[in-house]
Amino acid sequence: MEEMKKKETLEDVISKITSKYNIEQIYLNTYDRKREAHELIVLVSNKYIKNLGDVVPRMVNTIRNYPHYQVRVYVAFQAKDKIREGNLFLFVSCQPEKLVYRKENSEFELLSEEFDFNKCKALTIDLKNLQREKVEEFKGGYYHFKEKEQNSLASFMLHQAIELTYRHLEIMLAGKERITHSVRTHHMYMKKISSMYHGVFEEEEHEDYILLQVLEDIYGASRYEDYFDIDPEVLEKLEVKMERLHVLADQIFQQVLITIEQQYAKHLQSMERTDHVPLKIAIKKLEDYPKLKDVTQQLNENLPEPVSIYLFGHRTLSFSIKGINEHESTEVWDNYFDLLVVSKTDIRVHVGNLQALIHERLGTSVFLLSYTKTEIQKELDRNSPFFHQVLSGGETLLHAGIDVGNWCFHKGNGLRAKERLESDRIRLNQRIDNASGLLRAGAYTDDSVDPVIKVLLYNQALEQACLGLLEFFYGYTPYQYSLNHLYGLCSTFWSFPNELFSRATAEERKQFTEFSNVLRSFRYKGVSDFDSNEVDRYEVLCHQFIERSAALARESFVSD
């Protein structure tokens, strides 16, 4: 429930921001996990704003009631330019898997394919070296004028060497610099954004408080006064601070670079591992399942034309009782077989009718998918992960009533390109968001309303979550959008659907059928037989299913 509340809060924050401002994209930055606040990278539309000076304070005020979220706001095209110039912070913070909002129908693309991490890293290092050259020039000027005892000029050079160092650190750590000449402001900002920054100024200490004030005076005097002098002892103390800052800046730069490289390496491993599709189903031989022979025979005898049959999933549920009576024990086994039936013409209606009959006749549960050979080849041509997995291994073929030895597999072999994955990932998040919204709508519906309304919303929430999982993990779009069909598919690929809605007994199957068919029943009957306890149970189970689905999505992109 806590995770769901967090998700609701994020949705609320995004809704408040996007309803008041023209936003292109929003990213949830999880780079620095030690932060208490969640960091949102907000890209404002180019068309309506060039300067953020007015927008940022208002946006911060908009989400003032959400203290666990903070925003970093950028003009979209400026953020894109910064990345091209080597802004590693924005490059890593705005990776596609962190995208939580994208303006509908927007053509804005932040990252281009040809610009990868290594290019950005190289530009970052070049930028750092260029900035360091400028700092060294000012530092050299400081020592030059100090030696000549021109302390006023020396102090200005020292101020610039310090200010430029802070500015570059801010770009490295937050994507942009603070536009100010106040060293105190830069110092306080660095304390806020980096746990690695320490040991330069301690503003609570009287001496450091005075030194920070002197730095304020140095810049103001150099710009607006004809004459400025500084105590040599104070200058010496500021020199120590400058050198300490430069050493620390190098340490921070190296550590941040290492951390970002490690983070991005994990991201690549996550993106490359088997296309986020679970490992190939381990299929045993047909003779290992005597009941499967009977199922195959039933299909061949009762379908109107010859078919080929593939096994793409199997699970066994057992129930055992052993008590103090050593001579008696009870064990109940139920086999579930998931089969793909391939035909020359469309026999989907016949296959659907047989699914229930087989369980009635044999006591064996089956889940049947029906496709023509032409339909499957089109799916292979689209590089479908699901059909490549099922068909690429000859051991999954149980019966060949028609010729299925000439499949033309896609060169990608079911592994999707990065662009397709990003698109599917966004769609998965949208599905989970839809599911969460429908679940909340049901939970908030007044109890005086017919309970069937709540159940209808929970039904649709579960349907959205199922669709999201199937589309993303297997690139599979079901031909039947009934919850019974969708949930059966999910139960094939993951264990948790079977744990939440068990259908091991006749009573459990009846209850799930009533839940999955609630829309049809309500459409024709207009009333329902759901009591409040059933409704509450469905709410809890749907919430758990959505939570598990969201967890699967997160695990697919972040390798902890």
Burial 223-235 (b: 16+ CB within 10 A, else e): eeeeebebeeeeb
74 shares its domain with 205: no
Give the CATH number, domain containing residue 396.
3.30.460
12 shares its domain with 58: yes
251 shares its domain with 385: no
> What does the pLDDT read at residue 394?
54
Domain that residue 311 falls in: 286-321+329-400
Structural domain includes residue 222: yes
Domain boundary among 71, 104, 137: 104
Structural domain includes residue 93: yes
Structural domain includes residue 111: no
Name 397's bridge partners.
Answer: 310
Q: Are 215 and 239 in contact (CB under 8 A)?
A: no
Structural domain includes residue 110: no
Cα-based torsion angle of the residue sequence 30, 31, 34, 38 in order, rounded to the nearest 10 degrees: -40
> What does the pLDDT read at residue 48?
59
70 shares its domain with 135: no
Give the CATH number, domain containing residue 191.
1.20.120.330
Domains contained in the chain, number: 4
296 shares its domain with 169: no
437 shares its domain with 548: yes
Name 40's bridge partners.
Answer: 28, 71
**Which residue reads 């009287």 in tokens?**
206
> What does the pLDDT read at residue 160?
94
pLDDT along the chain (560 residues), means of 10: 56 89 86 60 77 82 88 89 86 84 86 76 85 92 93 92 93 84 92 85 91 89 73 94 91 80 60 42 51 88 93 67 45 72 94 86 87 94 90 75 83 82 85 92 81 90 94 88 88 88 81 85 66 87 92 64
Q: What's the pTM? A: 0.49
388 shares its domain with 530: no
Structural domain includes residue 279: no
> What does the pLDDT read at residue 161?
95
Beta sheet of 397-400, edge-to-edge order = 365-372, 329-343, 308-322, 397-400
Structural domain includes residue 280: no
548 shares its domain with 434: yes
CA angle 335, 338, 342 (to 5 degrees): 140
Q: What is the full DSSP assignment across 260-327?
A: HHHHHHHHHHHHHSGGGPPPPPP---GGG-HHHHHHHHHHHHHSSS--EEEEEEEEEEEEEEE-S-TT
Encoding tokens for residue 310? 């593939």
Structural domain includes residue 150: yes
> What does the pLDDT read at residue 396?
78
Please report, in angstroms and rounded to a whole number, the separation of the first and last CA atoms in the chain: 22
> What does the pLDDT read at residue 37?
65
Q: Are 439 and 546 in contact (CB under 8 A)?
A: yes
> What does the pLDDT read at residue 403?
84
Q: Are 34 and 195 in contact (CB under 8 A)?
A: yes
Amino acid identity at 282: A
130 shares its domain with 237: yes
75 shares its domain with 131: no
Structural domain includes residue 143: yes
